[in-house]
């Protein structure tokens, strides 16, 4: 039996309106050597019934008790067979070429980590027109993530992680919520080659009223746990590498401080800034170094889809997803 190369782990908690879109986008990926795992984290809104309808096409894990996003993702990883793990939140959607783009990168660089790029949207997932299908991939190639010199919009749905690297840092950390993705990146800062994707964008990130980014008080509370969550020892003694990993935390921490001030929570913002100032200072130093030394140049790859059907039929993905999601019993795709 051929070894599975990619495991797409879709996690869901009370996302009845969106979860079918996420699952359909994972199942529709062009690359043939992948599996889909769907983890329902004790939803109470009917998501469990929708997820169960996919049990013949995906591995389904149903938690009876709510364990949180980090533990749900770890639960999916525990039953995954792939050499690389992709994570997809239940309200997001993979573009039809996502897995083939990642495979092109992985075959070229054999990285431990790929950081993808997002397209933000509201409402129903946009249809992907034929003219949007990528012909070229542009990336930045780092020996390890602590060398990263460009800003990056993090998301769990934009992470592709080599399995042994994921296991070596013990996966997702619940205590870092809602900054689990940035914390995992910091844990993986020295785990091996890291590739950031400049283009094409491979994930649709859905904006809606329940996004964590709208809950300022949760962000402030979570940031304290984020900066306190443990990291593995740094194997490098270079000062620049130390600042590089610290900056992975400092950037999001400063974002949390700004969210507090914009919400006019001045006392909370000031207190948080005092707590996270060492990480914020490291992020500022890394940014200054990039300005003075210049950014690492990008590299380009010609994109070859796994099947000619991808470029030929990509315009049909939006309508097909709507029809299948409707059949799964959700109103998520009403336009």
215: nearest Cα among 271, 183, 254, 177? 177
User: Tokens standing for 70?
Assistant: 């980090």
> Confidence band (pLDDT; 50, 70, 90) for 32?
confident
The b/e string for 291-303 (b: 16+ C-beta within 10 A; e otherwise) is: eeeeeeeeeeeeb
Res 133: pLDDT = 81
Higher pLDDT, 66 or 323: 66
12: nearest Cα among 28, 26, 29, 30? 26
- The residue-averaged pLDDT of 187-197 equals 97
- The residue-averaged pLDDT of 160-186 equals 97
Domains and CATH numbers, the chain: 6-212+297-327 (3.90.550.10), 215-296 (no CATH)
> Confidence band (pLDDT; 50, 70, 90) for 132?
confident
CB 245 within 8 A of CB 189: yes
CB 120 within 8 A of CB 205: yes
Report the share of the chain in percent with pLDDT over 70.
Answer: 89
As separate numbers, helices (DSSP H) first and strands (DSSP E) second, the chain gives 11, 12
């Amino acid at each position: 039996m051929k070894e599975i190369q990619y495991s797409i782990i879709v996690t869901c908690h009370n996302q009845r309106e969106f979860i079918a879109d996420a699952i359909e986008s994972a199942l529709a990926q062009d690359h043939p050597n992948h599996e889909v795992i769907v983890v329902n984290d004790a939803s109470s809104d009917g998501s469990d019934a929708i997820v169960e309808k996919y049990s013949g096409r995906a591995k389904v894990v149903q938690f009876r008790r709510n364990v949180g996003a980090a533990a749900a993702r770890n639960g999916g990883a525990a039953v995954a067979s792939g050499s690389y793990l992709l994570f997809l939140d239940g309200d997001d959607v993979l573009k039809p070429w996502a897995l083939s783009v990642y495979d092109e990168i992985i075959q070229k660089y054999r990285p431990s980590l790929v950081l993808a790029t997002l397209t933000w949207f509201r409402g129903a997932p946009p249809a992907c027109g034929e003219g949007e299908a990528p012909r070229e991939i542009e990336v930045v190639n780092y020996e390890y993530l602590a060398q990263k010199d460009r800003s990056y919009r993090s998301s769990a749905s934009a992470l592709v992680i080599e399995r042994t690297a994921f296991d070596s840092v013990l996966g997702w950390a619940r205590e870092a919520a809602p900054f689990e993705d940035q914390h995992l990146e910091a844990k993986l800062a020295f785990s091996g080659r890291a590739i950031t994707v400049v283009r094409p964008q491979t994930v649709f990130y859905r904006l809606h009223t329940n996004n964590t980014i709208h809950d300022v008080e949760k962000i402030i509370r979570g940031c304290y746990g984020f900066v306190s969550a443990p990291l593995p020892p740094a194997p490098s003694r270079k000062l620049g590498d130390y600042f590089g990993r610290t900056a992975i935390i400092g950037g999001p921490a400063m974002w949390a401080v700004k969210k507090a001030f914009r919400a006019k929570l001045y006392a909370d913002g000031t207190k948080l800034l005092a707590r996270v100032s060492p990480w914020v200072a490291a992020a500022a130093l890394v940014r200054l170094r990039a300005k003075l030394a210049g950014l690492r140049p990008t590299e380009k790859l010609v994109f070859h889809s796994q099947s000619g059907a991808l470029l030929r039929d990509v315009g049909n993905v939006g309508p097909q997803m709507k029809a299948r999601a409707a059949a799964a019993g959700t109103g998520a795709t009403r336009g």
